[in-house]
Chain A
Amino acid sequence: MAKSKPRVKVPKTAKAGEIITIKTLISHKMETGLRKDKKSGELIPRKIINHFKAEFNGTTVFETVMEPAVSSNPYIQFKMKVPESGEVVFTWTDDDGSKYTTKKKIKVG
């Protein structure tokens, strides 16, 4: 897969102190490193997204450490308490060190 495209679903507005649900999905093969190539019989090297982090105005909200047992196109859903208007930054880290990020704004009102 050439490019991993993240998709997130965050409500645009929320009440102060409201607990919202955030859904995230990123396209990624999540190669376990245990699978063998059908033609050559050699192991396909591991390549997964091993870390996910959500930050709100610079403070960490939620983190996940992932192992090869997480399915391809990892989907993560979690909750967040919205204290004020701000921006949520989502970061996925690949085994090769590359990072995929996306941002979403939440307005309190």
Chain B
Amino acid sequence: MRLNRRQVLILGAGATAVAAAGVPTMSIAADDPTAQQVIDKFTGGAAATSGRVDLGTPEIAENGNTVPIQVSVESPMTTDDHVAEVLIVADGNPRPDVAVFKFTELSGEAAASTRIRLAKTQNVIAVAKMSDGSFFMAKNAVKVTIGGCGG
């Protein structure tokens, strides 16, 4: 069977339609929430004001596998007024949630540091939950030279 020009065009259109239908199945798995969803879950929808949180990140991280981060929150750390939890989020990672630090009045000072993985150049966000239910946040951009996703 020989195809004329019209038949070839119809076949081509059909192939495009199949390809388009195939795209949604290739998108990212639905159970990976976005950074905003992770923050909303942590705050319960409440807005976080900037300030009081001091987030220390390197400007440029050469190795995304171990990026040192340091977070501290201004607070008297008494029974009535202390920092309850601090959430760390990396908005460009395949899974944006990184860690949650939980402080108590025995902490004395709401400060902690650790090392995290960053897949690419992105923002690192720290959200602090105070004992009175208010939220504060800080956001830093980190440039990553080699991503830490293991290839």
Contact = CB atoms under 8 A, between A and B. Distances in A.
Interface in B17-49: none
Interface residues of A, number: 28
B104 A61 contact: yes
Interface in A43-79: 56, 59-72, 74-79
Contacts of B117: 32, 68-71
B104 A59 contact: yes
Contacts, number: 103
B115 A71 contact: yes
A11 interface: no
A80 B116 contact: no
A70 B89 CA distance: 11
Interface string B80-110: 0000000000100111011111111111111
Interface string A2-27: 00000000000000000100000000
B109 to A, nearest CB: 4
A56 B106 contact: yes
B107 A68 contact: no
Given A62-B103, A63-B102, A70 B109 contact: no
A99 interface: no
Nearest to A68: B95
Nearest to A78: B112
Contacts of A60: 102, 104, 106
Given A68-B95, A70-B116, A71-B115, A78 B107 contact: yes
B114 A75 contact: yes
Contacts of A74: 114-115
B116 A81 contact: no
21 contacts: A19-B108, A35-B150, A62-B101, A62-B106, A62-B107, A62-B112, A63-B101, A64-B99, A64-B112, A64-B114, A66-B99, A67-B99, A69-B95, A71-B115, A74-B115, A77-B113, A78-B111, A79-B108, A79-B112, A81-B106, A81-B109
